[in-house]
Amino acid sequence: MALEGPAERRDEGQQGGMANGNGVAPPPSRMAGRPLGAAAYSDRRLRLNPNTEHKPQDYTDVRGEYAPAVYSALERHLPPSLLEADRDVKLHFMRDILARYWPHGERNKVHRHKEYRQKIVHLYKPLHQELYSMHPSAFFLPTFLEAVRTNTEESIASIMTEPIAGVFSFAMLQPNFCDMLLEEVENFEKWVHAMKFKIMRPNTMNKYGAVLDDFGLEAMLNQFMEEFIAPISKVFYPEVGGGTLDSHHAFVVEYGKDRDVELGFHVDDSEVTLNVCLGKQFSGGELYFRGIRCENHVNSETQHEEMYDYSHVPGRAVLHRGRHRHGARPTSSGLRMNLLLWCRSSVFREMKKYQMGFSSWCGECQREKRERQIQCVKATKLVNYSLEHSYAVHLAANILLLASNTFLLYF
Ligand SMILES: [Zn+2]
């Protein structure tokens, strides 16, 4: 699965230090300079289930590679003995864990990428400045805005259709916002072409399109995720980190003549993916879904009831788990452009390592579980049958014995 590259690389980095999948002890060289008391906790494990009653401390003043929300979310998973420790102790404990999750090589890559972005932002002149900060009523349709602002399960469900389990579709963006974003992307591409600037494409599978975060839209899109996607994913995808989204990758893809034609079957490097059609005129390009799968089952067969094809409508969004296998059929005519927002949760990715074997959200894990239950019921029936059978034989023998005794009495 080509799109999973970055996630797989991060996983490789983790395994050395996390050999048994649950230890979090840092190597001795990292112990220097730690606050008093931290070493005493170094062999403790995170808890798989968060302590929902615990109120995490405030980390908003903490600067570094991770957003303060990551520490607040992770704090609920700390071993009970650490929950009431000093904030510094907890912070070091969590940083140790996160440092393994994000090894040195990866950090260098991120640093280079930051420089690349700074260079673009410094030189590129935006066409629609109003896109670069959040203006909810100009961006979103009133129905969508009201549902999210009411922020109840009912209000959110009221604007959604769920054509197949786990895929939600809803009218989301103002036509004018879609047009402006398309024009901005086109303007950026023209600039790239004129400057002969070598840009990074959205992922390994798309040769066309642009990463929106790279030319200044990152802050707006982060707010987009936090305020308008997280409330929905918290309701529909809590088991894959929908409630703890803390980073994103946002890009526009382009399909049609002289662009990408189709997109092969794959999963996304995201916990939750938002896919919104921005326009323009096109035919074809349906999005096909083929069941949700964990890493162990990513290539397993599709069940008939997991097949679903979605036809894009400009302004309308599709929301699904990143692990929901999908692809895009060829766009047969015209030009189709879609906004993609891959939403990620570092807490979910960390906690996933503690999970062994079974993923409640994986269609194949569920199927295997059902199969085991059926086998188990069958085996129980068989045992019951043989017990009943032996009971009947036993009864018959007793009757015969009684009859023979009676017989004996007679004669
Ligand atoms: Zn599975």
pLDDT number for residue 20: 30
Cα of 367 from ligand 1 centre, angstroms? 9
For domain 129-361, give the CATH superfamily.
q2cbj1_9rhob like domain (2.60.120.620)
pLDDT number for residue 67: 76
Cα of 205 from ligand 1 centre, angstroms? 24
The answer to whether 215 and 124 are in contact (CB under 8 A) is yes
For the ranges 20-24, 46-50, 124-128, the lowest mean pLDDT is seen at 20-24
Q: What average pLDDT score do residues 351-359 get?
A: 81
Cα of 280 from ligand 1 centre, angstroms? 37
Cα of 73 from ligand 1 centre, angstroms? 25
DSSP string, 181-209: HHHHHHHHHHHHHHHT-----SSSS-SS-
Cα of 378 from ligand 1 centre, angstroms? 23
Residues with CB under 5 A from ligand 1 (ion): 294, 297, 359, 362, 364-365
Q: Over the stretch 365-406, which tens digit does the pLDDT of each residue have?
A: 999 999 999 988 888 776 666 666 565 555 554 544 444 333
Q: Where are the domains of the chain?
A: 2-101, 129-361, 366-411
| Count of other CB atoms within 10 angstroms of residue 367 | 16
The C-alpha atoms of residue 246 and residue 6 are separated, in whole angstroms, by: 17
Who wins on pLDDT, 202 or 278? 278
User: Facing residues of 171 across strands?
Assistant: 316
Q: What is the β-pairing status of strands 287-292 and 307-310?
A: antiparallel
Q: What average pLDDT score do residues 295-317 get?
A: 94
Cα of 321 from ligand 1 centre, angstroms? 14
Cα of 353 from ligand 1 centre, angstroms? 14
Cα of 371 from ligand 1 centre, angstroms? 13
Cα of 363 from ligand 1 centre, angstroms? 7
pLDDT number for residue 249: 96
- Most confident option among 10-19, 341-350, 357-366: 341-350
Q: Over the stretch 53-96, which tens digit does the pLDDT of each residue have?
A: 999 999 988 877 777 888 888 899 998 888 999 999 999 888 88
- The answer to whether the predicted template modeling score (pTM) of the entire model surpasses 0.85 is no
